[in-house]
């Protein structure tokens, strides 16, 4: 689905990402994880064409990311960032519909699609007339996810989408997001610094350090067959937080999606 070939990136002489190659497979969830400054968010921005690569190339199926194809690829790609990244002067509905309006969708088609994805994301329809400041953190993230899903993209890119939420709301949204990923069959690339979150979501984990891939594979592969002492060290620092999340029944997190509270 997404092929990354020898991509690298530096900023003012500082290497953010050394030449790496990866394939993100169709309908699978890949997690980019590692310490701060390891290059995971840089890689996500490169995938979306927000910044140019110094070397290498990125292909979405047979379409190479370039100046001429970047708009086409962005319309196939939904992007979610921490705290939502919503425009404060637009209502939730206006934020969601922005790109669809810009490419000429009719109001009837826009309204039908918003109603559809509100059900998928369990976002109360009556809250869509609210401005971002009037929504809870969890609701803002649901709106951001709706915006990312609006054009029914093939790919979802998520950069620490749950990092700013309190633990209860984060747990609720984790369960919801996993259900959405699995039911829609999207190709998902998600950045997190949280090993428990990576273990919960990932078909494949890509562990980075200092702009390089240290190891990639399933959670079990990295845990049981570490390729580098850093893998053992990274897992050891967080492993006590992983077991409770993995042992919980799937989808068993508490839910409160009526528009009240902090959800």
Res 224: pLDDT = 92
Residue 33: Cβ within 10 Å count: 24
Res 31: pLDDT = 97
**Are residue 65 and residue 85 in the same domain, yes or no?**
no
Average pLDDT, the chain: 89
**CATH number for position 228:** 3.40.50.300
Q: How many domains does the chain have?
A: 2
Distance of CA 102 to the CA centre of its chain: 23
The per-residue DSSP string of 145-194 comes to: HHHHHTT--SEEEEESTTTTS-HHHHHHHHHHHHHHHHHHT-EEEEE-S-
Q: What is the pLDDT of residues 209-233, one digit of tens each?
A: 999 999 999 999 999 999 999 999 9
pTM of this structure: 0.88
Which residues lie closer than 8 Å to 214 by C-beta, 6 or more apart? 34, 207, 208, 227, 228, 230, 231
Question: Domain range for residue 123?
Answer: 81-152
**Are residue 23 and residue 68 in the same domain, yes or no?**
yes
Q: Are 234 and 207 in contact (CB under 8 A)?
A: yes
Residue 177 lies in a domain: no
Res 255: pLDDT = 34
Please measure the distance between the N-terminal and C-terminal CA atoms of the chain and give it in whole angstroms.
33
Percent of the chain with pLDDT over 90: 76
Using the predicted structure, report yes or no on whether residue 258 has a pLDDT greater than 50: no
SS3 97: helix
């Amino acid at each position: 689905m997404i092929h990354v070939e020898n991509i690298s990136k530096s900023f003012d002489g500082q290497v953010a990402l050394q030449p790496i190659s990866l394939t993100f497979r169709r309908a699978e969830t890949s997690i980019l994880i590692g310490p701060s400054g390891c290059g995971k968010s840089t890689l996500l921005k490169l995938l979306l064409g927000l910044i140019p690569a110094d070397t290498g190339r990125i292909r979405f199926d047979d379409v190479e990311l370039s100046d001429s194809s970047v708009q086409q690829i962005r319309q196939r790609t939904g992007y979610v960032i921490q705290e939502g990244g919503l425009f404060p002067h637009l209502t939730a509905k206006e934020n969601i519909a922005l790109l669809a309006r810009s490419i000429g969708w009719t109001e009837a088609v826009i309204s039908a699609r918003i109603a559809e994805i509100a059900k998928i994301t369990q976002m109360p329809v009556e809250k869509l007339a609210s401005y971002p400041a009037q929504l809870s953190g969890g609701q803002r993230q649901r709106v951001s996810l709706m915006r990312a899903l609006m054009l029914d993209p093939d790919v979802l890119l998520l950069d620490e989408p749950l990092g700013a939420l309190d633990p209860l709301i984060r747990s609720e949204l984790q369960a919801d997001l996993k259900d959405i990923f699995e039911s829609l069959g999207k190709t998902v690339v998600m950045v997190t610094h949280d090993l428990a979150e990576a273990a919960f979501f990932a078909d494949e984990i890509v562990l980075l350090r200092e702009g390089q891939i240290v190891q990639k594979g399933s959670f079990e592969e990295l845990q049981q067959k570490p390729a580098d002492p850093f893998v053992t060290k990274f897992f050891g620092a967080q492993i006590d937080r992983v077991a409770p999340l993995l042992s919980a029944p799937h989808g068993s997190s508490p839910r409160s999606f009526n528009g009240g509270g902090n959800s």
